[in-house]
Amino acid sequence: IVKNFRIDEKRSLQFRTEIFNIFNRANFDVPGNAEDGEQIFNFITSPKSTDPCIAGTKTAASCYTLPSGVGQIFRTVGDSREIQFALKFIF
């Protein structure tokens, strides 16, 4: 939002209001793939047992376990609502 105030022919004063994230919506970060929410890509899960997991004999869920924090969102990107005011002198 801008409002211009004319002082004379050559000079003016401009008042500005800038609003970021006006509706205060959350912008979620990428879900973590580690227990603490950190991004660790290409991790290898640990086997639950010593039994070999042969294709077609067991499901992946019975063979491997994932860290407890996988897929959880721990943080947001950016800040909440921000309002900025500026006064600009144009000559």
Q: Distance between CA 22 and CA 57 in Å, rounded?
A: 54
Whether 20 and 37 map to the same domain: the answer is no
Whether 35 and 2 map to the same domain: the answer is no
Structure tokens at 82: 């921000």
Whether 52 and 65 map to the same domain: the answer is yes
Whether 15 and 32 map to the same domain: the answer is no
**Tens-binned pLDDT, residue by residue, of the chain (91 aa):** 999 999 999 999 999 999 988 887 877 777 665 555 455 554 444 555 555 555 555 555 555 555 666 667 777 777 778 899 999 999 9
State if pTM tops 0.75: no
Whether 60 and 38 map to the same domain: the answer is yes
Whether 68 and 40 map to the same domain: the answer is yes
DSSP track, 34-54: STTS---TT--PEESSSS---
Residue 44: per-residue pLDDT: 47
Full residue range of the structural domain in which residue 42 is found: 28-75
Whether 38 and 59 map to the same domain: the answer is yes
